Structure 1
């Protein structure tokens, strides 16, 4: 039979083993990951300014994509289903939401999130008529390697002015080829258009039109055209002849544009 002292030693040893086993189990539980990560890449890299992961219970986690690489990482996500939504940078469209499932201790890929340009024209277009300077506040048209159709208006209230610069890629004596100088008035295309609206009456002044005498009426000079970066810049000046009787020619000077599209 065990003596009292040996019995006590046995109990102490068993107690120590139980404590060690309990501690090991506790450490294993503490080391087990309780959250995961969702990663992805934005294309182009600067197209999105924010990525938001929304859980089924409404909780959100946000990440800002790297403007150079486009990579983003949503960390500390409890396991479960999430919907990724995107806040586009100016000039880009919002991609469709993406469904992902976060897993504890793992990094899950959301893949490539692709955004495209919205095609809207933004930037600067200014000109002078006489000694008065004007700046466009509204923009219309389209710009691509197929042609430049740029319109800027001061406003659309009771009184406004509008400049249009038109250089088609096809059907023009001098087709659009990006950077270069384009004479106005020598043919129907390319042309400049100055339109003014006041007292309920819109008056257009053109550099070229069927029936007009073919002569130099001005220039559009494109100093920068980058279809990949979607930027265009240049200068212009022209004399516009009114389409309606009873109006004088209008001389547009110091024209400048610097836009994204």
Structure 2
């Protein structure tokens, strides 16, 4: 501020009234500015996605309470830094808006688009057909993965069955060289074929792991259904 007083005095002595008015106006403008409310948090030096077409990406933002109070460059945010402001250097990392939702599995949803879709299968026979077609296009040893089946939604029970669940034999017969892994729609179980059980070391001698169950037939043979941590 002392620089403005010095300039003012020089101009006054040299009698430049028009310039004095301009400088005086600048001085009044500066001294009357309302200070910025210090932010609680500053994120800087990052790649911040704003979801706003006017400035889709910025390097810094300011947070006051539970609201984003400003976005812009690192330099823009300097005015919001107070004595108690927390400043976090993102070091070039990406920051995106948070999402609040009831219950979702975004990764699983994306992965499901690259797997066999079994939600619309009317029965176990339809699933066998889908797996058989997929096996024709897979190299031996390549896993066949699907999801979304639920035995209670089928129009008829598979035969034979254990607790309404099929046995693996038909599935194994159409995919002898490919391990098959079919996730139940609940997310709490999978159905596998013989090739998958061999790769995993599952047999009639296998012991149920803690928190899991290998579903078996009356002779103790695994039918292909694995629950929870099995």
How does the TM-score come out when normalised to structure 2? 0.30
Decide which structure has greater strand share: 1
How does the TM-score come out when normalised to structure 1? 0.28
The higher relative CO (CA closer than 8 Å, separation ≥ 6) is in 1
Decide which structure has greater helix share: 2
